[in-house]
Each structure stands twice: as structure tokens, then as C-alpha cells.
């Protein structure tokens, strides 16, 4: 579904060159759930931006369904760190927005209503259609953002630390609901996180990135049966082994970054 072929990316801030990514090669299969972890500034979000077609690589190539990504990729939905809900629109209005902006033949009113209702049900927001973002808790805003991403029925969902600002208990709830929405959907999901436990709990494979410039240090298959209980899984021997192995790969870069 997604291929990164020797991808490198350099940003310029004045006269300063910032090497975000270097020689990243990775293939992601259709229907796979990939988690990407690494220290701050290692290019995790840049990979998502390249996949969405919001920027181009400096070197190498990003391909989606075997086609080079050269512009905005309308086959993906992107859940960013901030929810970016429009404050003057209700929950229903925010969820409808991608359908209003979609290319191609417009959808009929009945289909739009059905899609919005299905998305609200999927994320547990039934009954909050007429509420405004300011009337929602942080977790409910995240649910609304996820419904907005799912309503256009994307092939691929890109998620950039969507639960990073939430408390530990709420994160577990939303991780479980994300898995429930994903399992059996056939969608490809690329999930960026700083949280190793979160990555192991949800992913088919975990990609560990090095400190800047971001390179792939480790690619770990997570062979834990599905469906998974994101709470109880953390007390299993398999989880402990995966956590130890991935932390060994990540530790030096995190310590190096903290020491400057």
C-alpha cells in the first residue's frame, strides 16, 4: 500500500540545514497497522506528511498503491496531534466537512446522513451531534476528530500522536475503541507515537526511528493474537519481551537527545 524508497528530507531554517530523514526504506501492506516510535525530531511526522502528499522528499520516492505521491493524497485521512475542529460548527457539521470538500460526484443527502450517523456510532458520540467543540471534553473532541477522518471511508488512516495529550486512563479507552474500529475494516493504519506501550498494544509491526536524521533502527513484528485487550496485554510475558527489546533499540537515542 505504502512504500518509502530511500527517502531523505532536509528542511532549511535560515542558513541552517535540518536533516529530518535519511535513507528510509519501508513497505507497509494493505490492511496493516504500523506504529512508528522514536525520539522527538526524528522525522516521524514528516513520514506522515510525505504520505499525505503535503510535502515532497528531497531524495528518494514515496509510493502509494505503486504510484509516486506527487500531490495531495486524497485516498488517506490524516488525524493530527491537534484536533483542528472548527469552533463555529457542531460535531455533525465538523464531521460533514470532508464530504463537502470531497472531489468527484457529490453524495446525496441521505448518504451523507447515513455516513455521519455510522461514524458517530463507531466512535461512541451518538447524541452529541448538535454540540459544539467547546462543549466537549478532550476525549470527546478526539472521538469527533476520528469520526471526521473515517466518514469519507479512506483506504488509509494516518494518525500523528492522536492520544498524546490525554491522561493514561482515557488513552486506554480510546486505544481500545480505535482497535475496534480498525479490526475487520481492511484499512491500513500508520500510527505515530512516543509511547512504546501504546505501540506494542495496537500494532502489527513497530518501527523504531533513530535520532535526527531519522533512520530505521529496528522493525519489530508483534506476534500477539488479536483481538487484543489493551489493558491486560501489558501484563503478559510477550509484552514484556517486546518492550525490553524495543527500549534497548530506543534508549541510547533518547538519552543522547536529553543530554543535548
C-alpha cell at 141: 473532541
Q: Considering only CA atoms, which of 65, 72, 71, 79 is closest in space to residue 155? A: 65
Residues 148 and 93: their CA atoms lie apart, in Å, by 10
Domain-ending residue, one of 132, 152, 172: 152
What's the rounded Cα separation, in Å, for the pair 205 and 216? 13
Q: What is the domain extent for residue 25?
A: 2-75+155-259
Same domain for 41 and 127, yes or no, is no
Check whether residue 103 and residue 164 sit in a common domain: no
Reported as a single tens digit per residue, the pLDDT across 41-56 is 888 999 999 999 999 9
% pLDDT > 90, the chain: 58
d(CA 184, CA 157): 14
Residues 54-74 have pLDDT tens digits of 999 999 999 999 999 999 998
Q: CA-to-CA distance for 209 and 190, rounded, in angstroms?
A: 14
What is the total count of domains within the chain?
2
Q: Does residue 174 share a domain with residue 254?
A: yes
Q: What is the mean pLDDT of residues 105-132?
A: 87
SS3 content of the chain, % helix, strand, coil (to 5): 40, 25, 35
Which of 226-258 are b and which e, b meaning 16 or more Cβ less than 10 Å from the residue's Cβ? eebebeebeeeeebeebeeebeebbeebeeeee
Q: Is the pLDDT of residue 103 over 80?
A: no
Top mean pLDDT of 35-44, 110-119, 165-174, 194-203 is at: 194-203
Residues 32 and 48 grouped into a single domain: yes
pLDDT score at 240? 95
H or E segment to which residue 37 belongs: strand 33-37
Name the band, by pLDDT with cuts 50, 70 and 90, for residue 94: very high
Pick from 102, 119, 152: which residue ends a domain?
152
How far is 207 from 77, CA to CA, in rounded Å? 21
Q: Is residue 218 part of a domain?
A: yes
Q: Does residue 15 form part of some domain? A: yes
- pLDDT attached to residue 253: 77
Q: Are residues 146 and 210 in the same domain?
A: no
**Least confident segment among 88-97, 162-171, 213-222:** 162-171
pLDDT at 91 over 70: yes
Q: Which helix (H) or strand (E) holds 27?
A: strand 16-28
CATH number of the domain within which 161 lies: 3.40.50.300
User: Does residue 67 fall inside a structural domain?
Assistant: yes
141 lies in some domain:
yes
Quick one: pLDDT band at residue 258, thresholds 50, 70, 90? low
Inform me whether the pLDDT recorded for 237 exceeds 90. Answer: yes
H/E stretch holding 210: none
**In the prediction, which pLDDT does 153 show?**
86
CA separation (Å) from 254 to 159, 223, 242, 245, 260?
Answer: 22, 26, 18, 15, 10
Q: In the block, which residue shows the cell 530523514?
A: 21
Residue that terminates a domain, selected from 129, 152, 175:
152
What is the per-residue pLDDT across 121-160, written as a single tens digit (0 to 9) for each? 888 889 899 999 999 988 889 889 989 988 888 899 999 9
pLDDT band at 102; cut points 50, 70, 90 = confident
Instruction: Report residue 145 CA to chain centroid gap.
Output: 12
Torsion of CA 253, 254, 256, 260, to 10 degrees: 130
Q: How many CB atoms lie within 10 A of CB 14?
A: 5
Mean pLDDT of 175-197: 91
pLDDT band at 110 (very low <50, low <70, confident <90, very high): confident
234: left (phi over 0), alpha (psi -120 to 50) or beta: alpha
Q: Is 200 domain-assigned?
A: yes
Residue 81 domain-assigned? no
Amino acid at each position: 500500500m505504502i512504500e518509502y524508497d530511500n527517502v531523505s528530507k532536509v528542511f532549511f531554517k535560515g542558513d541552517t540545514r535540518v536533516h529530518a530523514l535519511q535513507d528510509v526504506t519501508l513497505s507497509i501492506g494493505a490492511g496493516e497497522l504500523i506504529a512508528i516510535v522514536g525520539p522527538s525530531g526524528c522525522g516521524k511526522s514528516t513520514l506522515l506528511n510525505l504520505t499525505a502528499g503535503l510535502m515532497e522528499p528531497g531524495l528518494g520516492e514515496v509510493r502509494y498503491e505503486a504510484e509516486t505521491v506527487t500531490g495531495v493524497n486524497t485516498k488517506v485521512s490524516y488525524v493530527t496531534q491537534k484536533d483542528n475542529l472548527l469552533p463555529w460548527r457542531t460535531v455533525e457539521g465538523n464531521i460533514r466537512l470532508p464530504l463537502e470538500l470531497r472531489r468527484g460526484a457529490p453524495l446525496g443527502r441521505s448518504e451523507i446522513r447515513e455516513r455521519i450517523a455510522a461514524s458517530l456510532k463507531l466512535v461512541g458520540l451518538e447524541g452529541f451531534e448538535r454540540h459544539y467543540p467547546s462543549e466537549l471534553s478532550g476525549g470527546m473532541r478526539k472521538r469527533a476528530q476520528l469520526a471526521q477522518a473515517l466518514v469519507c471511508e479512506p483506504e488509509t488512516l494516518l494518525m500523528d500522536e492522536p492520544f498524546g495529550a490525554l491522561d493514561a486512563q482515557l488513552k486506554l479507552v480510546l486505544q481500545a475503541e480505535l482497535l475496534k474500529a480498525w479490526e475487520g475494516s481492511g484499512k491500513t493504519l500508520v500510527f505515530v507515537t512516543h509511547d512504546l506501550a501504546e505501540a506494542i498494544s495496537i500494532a502489527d509491526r513497530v518501527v523504531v526511528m533513530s535520532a535526527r536524521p531519522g533512520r530505521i533502527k529496528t522493525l519489530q513484528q508483534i506476534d500477539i493474537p488479536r483481538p487484543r485487550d489493551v489493558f491486560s496485554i501489558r501484563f503478559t510475558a510477550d509484552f514484556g519481551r517486546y518492550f525490553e527489546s524495543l527500549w534497548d533499540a530506543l534508549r541510547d537515542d533518547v538519552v543522547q537527545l536529553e543530554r543535548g
